[in-house]
Amino acid sequence: MDSPVVVITGASSGIGEATARHLAARGARLVLGARRTDRLEAVAAATGATTRRTDVRRREDVAALVDLAVETHGRLDVIVNNAGVAHVEPLDTLAVEHWDEMIDVNLRGVLYGIAAALPVFRRQASGHVVNVVSTSGLRITPEQAVYAATKNAVRTLSEALRQQAGPHLRVTAVSPGMTVTELVTAAADGPAAEATRARVAEIGIPADAIARAIAFAIEQPATVDVGEIVVRPTAQS
């Protein structure tokens, strides 16, 4: 696809930033959303992207980001639902506010992205939904119960959307393994979070590895749908 128009949420750091930089280098036209506008503008300066402050917990924010892409470029080819948050802690902590945040960002935010992009894709008779999931939903650990639950919900959602998408819409779920991003460094305090951070520091892969996987899926011919990609360190069990 020549110069696709791509919306990326959570684009101010980590996988979102790496994906923006990688796709920009390959000619994509980018519209980026995130809450941290200072970081977002730095990414935009490096990629030539259009930006809008976006909190994916707010449906109107995500809709406005998609509208911006269509207004700026006349179309939307890909939405990368990347924004995410992780809290690594036992359920016994009863950190309900953290559970709510993960549900709102990791699941509801993806639903809002689909709700915003799907009507555009249907009008165009083309489009690609890329949802960033996680290997945490493939190999369950108790301290990541809610995080894994939200990611598995998105995995289920992605497959259901793929099945009902028809011949003109592609859907890809990308599951990163241990990746060096702020998602882990910003996780909750406590032994479980510290152990996760130490393991990521030991074996984690760079965010650009995930960006390359996303680019691979996007760059396939329109008749080829890459349903799921798992990208993890070779040392990760």
Which amino acid appears at position 107 of this protein? L
3-state secondary structure (DSSP) of residue 155 = helix
Strand partners, 176: 231
C-beta separation of 20 from 8 below 8 A: yes
Separation CA 2–CA 179 (nearest Å): 29
Closest CA to 55 of 71, 33, 70, 39: 33
Residues 90-119 as b or e (16 or more Cβ within 10 Å = b): eeeeebeebbebbbbbbbbbbbbbbebbbe
Instruction: Give dist(CA 55, CA 37) in Å, integer.
Output: 11
147 is catalytic: yes
Which of 99, 112, 121, 147 is labelled catalytic? 147
Residue with tokens 């996988």, as numbered in its chain: 15
62: closest CA among 52, 72, 70, 71? 52
CA-CA distances (angstroms) from residue 92 to 109, 142, 201, 225? Answer: 26, 11, 26, 41
How far apart are alpha carbons 113 and 105 in whole angstroms? Answer: 11
Catalytic residues: 147
